[in-house]
Chains A and B, each alone.
Chain A
Amino acid sequence: MVKSTQLWGFAAAAVFTFSDASADDIDHRLFSINGFGTVGAARSSERQADFTSTVFKPNGTGFTRRWSPDVDSRLGVQLSANVTENLSAVLQVVSEQRHDNTYTPTVEWANIKYGVTPDLAIRVGRIASPTFLAADYRKVGNAIPWVRPPLEVYNLSPVSNSDGADLTYRTAVGNVSHSIQIYLGQKDFVARDNVSGTARDAIGISDVFEYGQTSGRISYQRGQLTLGILEPFFDTFRQFGPRGTAIADRYSGNNKRYDLMSIGATYDPGAWFATTEWAKVITRSWLGNKTAWYVGGGYRFGQFTPFAIYSTIRSNSRTSDPGLSVASLPASAASTANALNNGLSSILGFSAIQHTVSVGARWDITKNVDLKVQYDRTAMADGSPGVLFNTQAGFEKGGQINVLSVTLDFVF
């Protein structure tokens, strides 16, 4: 007769005796797969225009749809390979609504990393652009306290990756740790309405610093930006003598140097957190120069975290231009010049100038799944459509809109 205590003892002995010693003890894998995703729905109060989260999406909520799942829904899968202790490779593919209105998966990034020392590494390939605090993980909803990073700041540079190489270096100076990244690359992109563009000779530096409960990032990037879409329009100005040529050169989007700088920080003592970011872009073209910033915070009540954000963007460049002088022109030329001047005013005035107040809450349902609800109230400056697009005949610039968003994020 075997007593139950003896059975229990036998089981314990089995653990000690039959388990293998070293190799199987650690979960050691050559490949690992991780992923993230968001299922979302957003509803804008403005029915005569669309609202969405990036310039790469061709439609959104408001005019095209009452509730749009395309604003925030996405799925990302990342495959990492640890080839040797120093060499690793990563491939991340993301499926989200893109410029052609499909969810065709695209390579978000793909690079090979070589660790020269434990603190110094080189990467070659498609690399995430570290332009803002959360820029390199802006698509990972689980890592962000709110539904989406504030658009006023993050749409200053909507491009999330570039092709090239970078160097990363980790160090600490006293109690401050730094993770410095220097990168160069280029990017070809296609935005909504098939507007294509390139960024060339982009070079940038970013420092992620951490001191106690404060962490943040300072970054700077410059490059040459070309947006072909309005070039035929500006070329028409060149028929109008030196003044016309000067206007064309000033506003042309062809191969213009841009500067993008930002600084952001988060203070997180545990029960609550506050984040602020400031960013500025100088484009030297019709895109203009802009400054944007936001401040946001939240308080953790167990698994429930309500939050609020204030974000704003303003233009630092002229939003109108006197254009060509019409008085001295013959009638037919004058009407063309008037049309060009009106077009120029319209383009410059299209600058997104607005501020948004957001309130919402995040509920961490399990450790890998969270649900967020966010209400944004956006006030646009007179004459500005803000970030709205697909504007219809009945649309009036300026004024206010509300957007209600619900998102479910998960990681695996």
Chain B
Amino acid sequence: MRMINKISRRLASVVFALGAGAAYADVVVIVSSKSPIAALTTEQVSNIYLNKRKNSESVPPLVPIDAPGDSHIREDFYRKVTGMSPSQLTSYWSKLIFTSRGYPPREAVNDEAVKRMIAEHSNLIGYVDARFIDPSVKVVLVLK
């Protein structure tokens, strides 16, 4: 009984920690806290995620990671950053996939994985719900 109480108290603190950030509904773009990048513009993030080659010497090459295909945050992110609806994005990628000019970003298996990958690799960029921020990642863009 004491063991269960101990575990449940620890679990409760986890729940509380997650719940504390629930006030934010913002999508934030993150890189590793080890990354030298301080901030990015919406256009820069859009170019990275749409695989567009632009002159951006000030920004080291970043590999984009997508949230899972069925997550609501993904549609929200793309509308805010690229202005495109899911259908427009499908058409955009169709042009690139079926001419072998490019492929969409790799998908992480869940939202937790996005954050973990970004934290561990300074060459990756991702987007998460603001609730999941912790000191291992750095916010480079906040999407309202």
With known contacts A5-B12, A119-B53, A26–B91 Cβ distance under 8 A: no
Chain A interface residue count, CB cutoff 8 Å, equals 57
B87 adjacent to A140 (CB under 8 Å)? no
Let me know if B72 is at the binding interface, CB within 8 A. no
Residues from chain A with a CB closer than 8 A to the CB of B101 are 168, 179
A25 adjacent to B61 (CB under 8 Å)? no
Taking A26-B108, A78-B97, A128-B99 as known contacts, 15 extra A-B pairs with beta carbons closer than 8 A to each other, sorted by chain A number, are A3-B8, A5-B12, A12-B15, A16-B112, A26-B113, A27-B106, A27-B107, A34-B97, A119-B53, A136-B99, A137-B98, A303-B85, A303-B87, A364-B85, A367-B90
Let me know if A374 is at the binding interface, CB within 8 A. no
With known contacts A8-B15, A137-B95, A137-B98, A26–B53 Cβ distance under 8 A: no
- In B75-112, the 8 Å CB interface with A consists of 83-87, 89-91, 94-95, 97-101, 103, 106-110, 112
> Could you show 16 A-B contacts with beta carbons less than 8 Å apart?
A3-B8, A5-B15, A12-B11, A16-B14, A21-B116, A22-B117, A27-B108, A78-B97, A78-B98, A80-B100, A142-B90, A143-B91, A170-B53, A172-B55, A270-B83, A367-B85
Let me know if A64 is at the binding interface, CB within 8 A. no
A26 adjacent to B65 (CB under 8 Å)? yes
Let me know if A204 is at the binding interface, CB within 8 A. no
B12 adjacent to A25 (CB under 8 Å)? no
Let me know if B54 is at the binding interface, CB within 8 A. yes
With known contacts A15-B112, A367-B90, A90–B54 Cβ distance under 8 A: no
- In B120-138, the 8 Å CB interface with A consists of 120
Residues from chain B with a CB closer than 8 A to the CB of A80 are 100, 103
Let me know if A226 is at the binding interface, CB within 8 A. no
Shortest C-beta distance, B60 to chain A (Å), equals 12
Shortest C-beta distance, B134 to chain A (Å), equals 12
Mask of A357-384 contacts with B, CB within 8 angstroms, 1/0? 0000000101110100000000000000
B98 adjacent to A34 (CB under 8 Å)? yes
A9 adjacent to B106 (CB under 8 Å)? no
Let me know if B18 is at the binding interface, CB within 8 A. yes
Let me know if B52 is at the binding interface, CB within 8 A. yes
B-contacting residues of A (Cβ < 8 Å)?
2-3, 5-6, 8-10, 12-13, 15-16, 19, 21-22, 24-28, 32, 34, 36, 76, 78, 80, 90, 92, 111, 113, 118-119, 123, 128, 134, 136-137, 140, 142-143, 168, 170-175, 177, 179, 210, 270, 303, 364, 366-368, 370, 411
With known contacts A113-B100, A143-B98, A25–B117 Cβ distance under 8 A: yes
B116 adjacent to A140 (CB under 8 Å)? no
Q: CB-nearest residue of chain B relative to A119? A: B53
A-contacting residues of B (Cβ < 8 Å)?
4, 7-8, 10-12, 14-15, 18, 52-55, 61, 65, 83-87, 89-91, 94-95, 97-101, 103, 106-110, 112-113, 116-117, 120
Residues from chain A with a CB closer than 8 A to the CB of B106 are 26-28
With known contacts A6-B11, A26-B117, A270-B83, A140–B109 Cβ distance under 8 A: no
Q: CB-nearest residue of chain B relative to A92? A: B98
B87 adjacent to A364 (CB under 8 Å)? yes
A128 and B97 CA atoms in complex are apart in Å by: 12
A47 and B55 CA atoms in complex are apart in Å by: 56
B53 adjacent to A27 (CB under 8 Å)? no
B120 adjacent to A142 (CB under 8 Å)? no
A27 and B69 CA atoms in complex are apart in Å by: 11
A90 and B103 CA atoms in complex are apart in Å by: 12
B52 adjacent to A411 (CB under 8 Å)? no
A23 and B3 CA atoms in complex are apart in Å by: 33
B12 adjacent to A142 (CB under 8 Å)? no
B12 adjacent to A172 (CB under 8 Å)? no
A24 and B108 CA atoms in complex are apart in Å by: 9
Q: CB-nearest residue of chain B relative to A118? A: B61
B109 adjacent to A210 (CB under 8 Å)? no
A2 and B112 CA atoms in complex are apart in Å by: 26
- Partner of B54 from A32, A128, A177, A368 at Cβ < 8 Å: A177
Q: Which 4 A-B pairs have the closest CB atoms?
A: A9-B11, A364-B87, A367-B86, A25-B113
Residues from chain B with a CB closer than 8 A to the CB of A364 are 85, 87
Q: CB-nearest residue of chain B relative to A213? A: B83
Shortest C-beta distance, A118 to chain B (Å), equals 7
Residues from chain A with a CB closer than 8 A to the CB of B87 are 303, 364, 366-367, 370
Q: CB-nearest residue of chain B relative to A144? A: B91
Residues from chain B with a CB closer than 8 A to the CB of A8 are 15
Q: CB-nearest residue of chain B relative to A90? A: B100
Shortest C-beta distance, A61 to chain B (Å), equals 26
Shortest C-beta distance, A225 to chain B (Å), equals 24
Residues from chain B with a CB closer than 8 A to the CB of A21 are 116, 120
Shortest C-beta distance, B43 to chain A (Å), equals 10
